[in-house]
A and B are shown apart, each in its own frame.
Chain A
Amino acid sequence: MAEGHATIIPQLLADNEQTLLRDWMESQKKSGALRGGQISDAELTEASRRLLAALRSGAATGQFADITAPAWDQSRTVLEDVSRSHATLGLTPSETATFVFSLKEPLFALLREKVGKDPDRLAHETWIATMLLDKLGLYTVETFQKTREDIIARQQQELLELSTPVVRLWEGILALPLIGTLDSSRTQIVMESLLEEIVTSGAQIAIIDITGVPTVDTLVAQHLIKTVAAARLMGADCLISGIRPQIAQTIVHLGLELGVVSKATMADAFALALRQLGKAVVDRGPARQEV
């Protein structure tokens, strides 16, 4: 590729910015870039104008091979913004890349007009232009993917937080019903929520219920032990409930030492917690209908 050879593209972009913008907008609108109103004319014009300006300053450096170089920082920023808003709107990566590729038509038309008489020259210029726009188009796809991944990660995080509710069973008694597998990241979030709730509610006892946890292995046990230890350091006690017979067997077989009182059911744990707090449930005679 004739990198060293002169190219008229920088000059072309500088001299014909308005024309290019107009023709490019026309071409984009014709191919449905406004998505039936999802994107406003003003938005599209602004994005296109920004990209053309960025391309002009990038091209002025004469370096077209490496789009990660500082010369193309501005262009990449524009494309990142466009990708991000497209991703949020639910567009596909192809549609976003088309934003860049659709610039080829008006640009090639302009090149043909200026150097069409010299086929070698035309081929050379077209090659430089297409290489650049291809790279930039691919860049939008990459950024698009990254944004989507970020959105998914954030949604996963929110889901995790929703699935670890801490319940105030009684004054001074919290319950944390765990559902599902306890992996490292989940446990951290769980631990934090429980401990934060202990502070907020001033609870004395936290009952961690593992009825919904399918298996307890050494790792899970470690997580539970750490949570209990942290709660203790803060001044609260823990009980574990929901120990199924199989889990009890596993714990013994693995030689695990939970270091905390554990009960088969949440009801048993709750009763114990009440006792520890010096409270009792009293029988007030035959059940009455409260009207």
Chain B
Amino acid sequence: MTQGGCLVVEKGNTIAVRSSDDVVRVRQAVRARAIEAGFGIVDQTKLVTAASEIARNTVDYGGGGTLVIEIVREGARRGVQLTFFDNGPGITDLKVAMTDGYTTGGGLGLGLSGAKRLSNEFSIESTPGKGTTVTLARWKL
């Protein structure tokens, strides 16, 4: 996911993402780490919003899962990396799922594509029947 260089994890923590209360907790936890990493208010907001989108997906479509929040460093730059795991039904067609407006649940369909736009790094892996992993990161400019 990163180009060259080696990614060093400075610190991290894990949160359960199982209910809508957890989504609120995710927002608070990500905000705290973003502040710790020295992000300005706009970068904080973008990261937390992206996290909120994916956390929601994890609860609503993934049957609940886990989030790992890490403060990372690659060379001179520092950032926050979020990894969401779930063992849900997975996504059959990733390409379609990543298009704006695509939704199976009556939402605005911006979850995945929106989160990607708000992140500097974004990757998603999904196996139907096994689960989904979404990794996103934002760097401090």
Interface residue? B42 (CB, 8 A): yes
Chain B: interface residue total (CB-CB under 8 A)? 2
Interface residue? A289 (CB, 8 A): no
Within A174-197, the residues touching B (CB, 8 Å) are 185, 188, 192
Nearest-neighbour CB distance to chain B for A186, whole angstroms, equals 11
Interface residue? B108 (CB, 8 A): no
Whether A192 pairs with B141 at a CB distance below 8 angstroms is: no
Whether A185 pairs with B42 at a CB distance below 8 angstroms is: no
Chain A residues, CB < 8 A from B141:
185, 188
**Interchain CA distance A51-B42 in the complex, whole Å:** 42
Closest chain A residue to B43 by CB distance? A188
Q: How many cross-chain pairs have Cβ atoms below 8 Å apart between A and B?
A: 4
Closest chain A residue to B41 by CB distance? A192
Nearest-neighbour CB distance to chain A for B108, whole angstroms, equals 15
Within B107-141, the residues touching A (CB, 8 Å) are 141
Within A93-113, the residues touching B (CB, 8 Å) are none
Chain B residues, CB < 8 A from A185:
141
Nearest-neighbour CB distance to chain B for A216, whole angstroms, equals 23
Chain A residues, CB < 8 A from B42:
188, 192
Within A158-208, the residues touching B (CB, 8 Å) are 185, 188, 192
Chain B residues, CB < 8 A from A188:
42, 141
**Interchain CA distance A256-B42 in the complex, whole Å:** 27
**Interchain CA distance A23-B42 in the complex, whole Å:** 54
Within B34-64, the residues touching A (CB, 8 Å) are 42
**Interchain CA distance A185-B140 in the complex, whole Å:** 11
**Interchain CA distance A188-B40 in the complex, whole Å:** 11
Nearest-neighbour CB distance to chain B for A169, whole angstroms, equals 26
Nearest-neighbour CB distance to chain B for A31, whole angstroms, equals 33
Closest chain A residue to B40 by CB distance? A192
Closest chain B residue to A149 by CB distance? B76
**Interchain CA distance A207-B63 in the complex, whole Å:** 49
**Interchain CA distance A213-B122 in the complex, whole Å:** 33
Nearest-neighbour CB distance to chain A for B106, whole angstroms, equals 23
**Interchain CA distance A188-B39 in the complex, whole Å:** 13
Nearest-neighbour CB distance to chain A for B5, whole angstroms, equals 16
Nearest-neighbour CB distance to chain A for B60, whole angstroms, equals 26
Nearest-neighbour CB distance to chain B for A219, whole angstroms, equals 16
Closest chain A residue to B141 by CB distance? A185
Bitwise, B89-112 to A at CB < 8 A (1) or not (0) is 000000000000000000000000
Bitwise, A114-139 to B at CB < 8 A (1) or not (0) is 00000000000000000000000000
**Interchain CA distance A63-B42 in the complex, whole Å:** 46
**Interchain CA distance A188-B141 in the complex, whole Å:** 11
Nearest-neighbour CB distance to chain A for B100, whole angstroms, equals 16
Nearest-neighbour CB distance to chain A for B8, whole angstroms, equals 12
**Interchain CA distance A86-B141 in the complex, whole Å:** 26
**Interchain CA distance A28-B42 in the complex, whole Å:** 49
**Interchain CA distance A34-B86 in the complex, whole Å:** 61
Nearest-neighbour CB distance to chain B for A235, whole angstroms, equals 18
Nearest-neighbour CB distance to chain B for A192, whole angstroms, equals 6
Nearest-neighbour CB distance to chain A for B37, whole angstroms, equals 16
**What is A's interface to B at a CB cutoff of 8 Å?**
185, 188, 192
Top 4 closest A-B pairs, CB basis? A185-B141, A192-B42, A188-B42, A188-B141
**What is B's interface to A at a CB cutoff of 8 Å?**
42, 141
A-B contact pairs, 4 of them (CB 8 A): A185-B141, A188-B42, A188-B141, A192-B42
